[in-house]
């Protein structure tokens, strides 16, 4: 079983570093980067994630404060 475990750990490490997870679509899998943007393999991805989260938080604050209503 040890070789299978090592292969699984290596595959996970590769995914975390930005390897292509779906060759048909040519995309990385990075949903876990949303929980920790420091794990993003590229500085541009880290910045995009942080900016988006900042925008969501600001919008949420505006709703809570009553600045925005529906």
What pLDDT sits at residue 15?
A: 87
In whole angstroms, give the CA distance from residue 5 to residue 54.
38
Task: Kindly state the average pLDDT of the residues 48-66.
Answer: 96
pTM above 0.85, yes or no: no
- 1-53 pLDDT, tens per residue? 999 999 999 998 998 888 998 889 888 888 888 899 998 999 999 999 999 99
What pLDDT sits at residue 17?
A: 87
A 10 A CB-CB count for 40 gives 22
- Burial profile 26-37: b = 16 or more Cβ within 10 angstroms, e = fewer: eebebeebeeeb
What pLDDT sits at residue 28?
A: 87
In whole angstroms, give the CA distance from residue 24 to residue 47.
26
> What are the tokens at 30?
């990075």
Task: Kindly state the average pLDDT of the residues 48-68.
Answer: 95
């Amino acid at each position: 079983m040890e070789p299978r475990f090592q292969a699984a750990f290596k595959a996970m490490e590769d995914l975390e570093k930005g390897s292509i997870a779906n060759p048909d679509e040519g995309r990385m899998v990075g949903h876990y980067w949303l929980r920790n943007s420091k794990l993003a393999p590229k500085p541009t991805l880290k910045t995009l994630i942080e900016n988006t989260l900042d925008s969501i938080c600001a919008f949420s604050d505006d709703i809570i404060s009553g600045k925005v209503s529906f």
